[in-house]
Amino acid sequence: MLKVESGAVLKKNQTKSIFFTLFNKYPLIIGFLALIMIFYLMEPRFLSKRNIFNIILQVSILAPLAIGETLVILTRGIDISIGSILAISSAVCGGLLLSKYNILLCCFMAIAVGAGLGFCNGITISYLGIPPLIATLAMMSIARGLQFLYTLGATLYAFPKGFRYLGTAMWFGIPAPIYLTVVVFILFHLIMKYTIIGRSIYAIGGNPEAARISGISIRKVTLLVYTISGILCAVGGMILLMRMDAMQNTAGSGIELEAIAAVVIGGTSIAEGGAGSIYMTALGTIIYGVILNGLNIVGVNPFSQRAIIGTIILVVVAIDCVIRKKRFST
């Protein structure tokens, strides 16, 4: 009898050991699966094909901004102007579309506006030495003001069918924006993993002084990172126009916090640079979308949703800080 009990205890301990090993190695994936299971048990419609597509479509606008924010945070920076840059970029694109300009020209101008404002962020941070939080806070107000001046407070809507096509088309039974989102994530994953630019970003975030000594121009890389962030804001703005067929004055309000939340949930460390990845940001973005969609589908009050998401972010950052402190102490 004693042998049987010992065997049962041993098997139980082995099961616990396997679980904790998996949790330590893949905490985000396990948490993601747990979330899906919880929401499915509460509302079976959660895992319907229509709702899964709905989740991905919801984060298709957020995804490019989250990628840009990841690059910024990896260099030990922060960009809280992305919502306003999205707004002015999409306003310019929408205004030109309504003026009957060529669709490609309209998209190019939106990207140029995003790149220009991101470039300004990079200049003030890397060459003038203004802290990223202050520089991007100023740009948040400037870009939002420019948006209001451009639109005069009017809502832009009813864009050409050729432009709206990418936001509403179904390719092989899958909404077109999902393809665009996947392509953007794959592109930047490859850039960060296999190019000099990616390695330089990680080097600067990991140890700026060592990166400088090794010949990496911190100023130029920082300038590039914020410019890319601006371009990705414009991409997000165009996806917004394609999907919604409208551009309101409040477009992009608060999306900077959502992007930061997605990046943090994905494991990119705000406490120290050089720690994070694009594919984990992709997972973090989807998890953020799952949380929002799940809370909506089970009928949680919108005000309570904000509190729950804020709590989740706080817990994730706290866990990240504890884990890094333990690693440092060992």
Quick one: which of 295, 124, 306 has its CA closest to 223? 124
Cβ neighbour number for residue 101 with a 10 Å cutoff: 14
Strands (E), the chain: 156-157, 170-171, 174-175, 246-247
- Supply the pLDDT for residue 19: 47
How many C-alpha atoms does 288 have within 13 Å on its Cβ side? 31
- Supply the pLDDT for residue 321: 67
- Supply the pLDDT for residue 1: 46
Q: Please give the chain's pLDDT, 330 residues, in tens.
A: 444 545 555 555 555 555 455 455 567 788 788 889 999 999 889 999 889 988 988 899 999 999 999 999 999 999 999 999 999 999 999 999 999 899 999 999 999 999 999 999 999 999 999 999 999 999 999 999 999 999 988 888 889 988 888 888 888 888 888 888 899 999 999 999 999 999 999 999 988 889 999 899 999 999 999 999 999 999 999 999 998 888 888 888 889 988 998 998 888 877 777 778 898 899 999 999 999 899 888 888 887 887 887 787 777 777 766 666 665 565
Distance CA 189, CA 183 (A): 10
Quick one: which of 31, 86, 87, 45 has its CA closest to 286? 31
Q: Where are the domains of the chain?
A: 56-321
- Supply the pLDDT for residue 245: 86
Say how many Å lie between the first and final Cα of the chain, rounded: 42
DSSP for 183-199? HHHHHHHHHHHHSHHHH
Distance CA 311, CA 313 (A): 5
Distance CA 84, CA 89 (A): 9
For domain 56-321, give the fold. ABC transporter involved in vitamin B12 uptake, BtuC (1.10.3470)
DSSP for 288-318? HHHHHHHHHHTT--HHHHHHHHHHHHHHHHH
Query: How would you label 314-330 residue by residue, b for 16+ Cβ within 10 Å and e otherwise?
Result: eebeeebeeeeeeeeee
Q: What 3-state DSSP class applies to 229?
A: helix
